[in-house]
Structure formats: C-alpha cells, structure tokens
Amino acid sequence: MVLAVALVQGASRGLGLEFCKHILRNKSPAAAVIATCRAPEGASELMGLAAQYPGKVTVLKVDVNREDEIKGAAEEVRQRFGKVDLIINASAMLHPSGKGETSLRDVSAQGIISTLTTNTVGPLMMAKYFAPLLLRGGGCFGLQPPEKAKLHSGIIVNITAKVGSIGDNGLGGWYSYRMSKAALNMATRNLSIELARSRPKPYHRNVPKDKLFSTEHSVNLMMSIIDKLNIEKTGKAYNWDGTELPW
C-alpha cells in the first residue's frame, strides 16, 4: 500500500530528477512519485527511472506556463491517488537567453515576463490547483509517525535562491531571475498565511550557493531539511545547511 505520494514538478533533469531518484531510493516502497515535465517523450532519463521502478513512478505532461495543463494534472492525480503529501516545485529558468542580464541594457520585457511566468506564476498555480489534494495529505515525508502526521497536512516546497533575497543583494544584475525569486518568496509567504487556515504547509528551499555542489549532494541536503519540517517552520526560506535565509 502506498503511504505517501510525492509530486515533483520539473522532473526531467537537474534537481527535479534527483529529487525523484532520492525519494525512490530512500522512501520506496512506502512512497509513489508523480513526476511532471513539459515533454515526457524527450525525457529519456526520467522515463528510464520510471522503467526501473515499475508501478512507482507516474509521469505527467505539465508545462507550468499553461494553467489548463496544471488543472488537468491535478484532476488526474485526484482520480488516481486521491491526495498528495509532498509537492516540490523544482523547474526554473535563469532567462530565456540562457544567461542573466548583466546590466539594464540587457533587460527586455519579454525576458522578464517569461522568467516570472515559469519561476513565480507556475508554482503559484500548482498551489492553487493542488491545495485540495494537499489537504488530504498527511505530511508523511517528515519525522512525524503516521499517527501524528496530521500535525500538518501536505507540504509544498518551492525552490528559491539566495539571489532572491533583497537584503542580501550586493552585486545587482540578473534582473529577471532575482525578481522572479523575490516574487516567489512573497507568494510562498502569502501561501503560508492562507493555507495555515486549512493546514497544508508551504516551505522554501534555498539552492546551495556553491555551484559546484552536485545535484545528488544538493538534494541530500535539501531532503534532510524537508524530512525535519514542522508547522513552526512554514513560510520561511532555508539555506542548504538548514539556517534560515532572511527575506
């Protein structure tokens, strides 16, 4: 019997794919993974992972820029699983060009809109449509035993970045990415207040600032924090070492 359901949004590569691997390695057979990505047909490594764990991985096509796809995925998950215990919003983009703006002359309206849509609007729409399923979740990915899991319901984890901190910004640049993560921070804070009335708990995880960290090491660090989350830690951002990151 599946005790916990984890949904990883943006699971075709990078941190999202590594989260799927980590959960399957460390939580299976007590957990099922729902992995979403824009183009499953091109996600060879993810599809290989699904084949490696037959019956444990469900791959869904979800482009977070399309609200209708998010809504449809939520309905499919409702019908197949009836709940979600953990959502990790892992997909993100630096900029459509592949590199951040180094100065104001590099800024374009479309670049900012595209980055905000993926990094900020997408996770918020995921929260909108999956909140009812998180209400039915039990926080089974934490240290709480199942009988005490109702101390909080499902968990939403939004992957933020240190460059999204306004107070910590001493270098400038990367307008689109910085703005998108700062806006995501505000969305997460709002969610923590609203959803506290109905129990699902959103959290931020801060991407390790040392870019030399492997995805496996990064996810190990982040999951060690996720596994210890409790209701007092909601609506906050955390560094890779577990220290709280000021907004």
Sorted by where each starts, the structural domains of the chain and their CATH numbers stand as 4-245 (3.40.50.720)
Helix or strand or coil: residue 58? strand
**Three-class SS of residue 35?**
strand
Question: What pLDDT score does 132 carry?
Answer: 93
What is the per-residue pLDDT for 157? 93
Spatial separation of the C-alpha atoms in residues 157 and 188, rounded to whole Å: 9
Cα separation, 204 vs 229, in Å, equals 11
- What are the Cα distances from residue 196, in Å, to 3, 148, 188, 202, 233? 23, 17, 12, 9, 12
Whole-model pTM?
Answer: 0.83
User: According to the model, what pLDDT value does residue 236 have?
Assistant: 85
The low-confidence residues of the chain, meaning pLDDT below 50, are: 143-144, 146-150
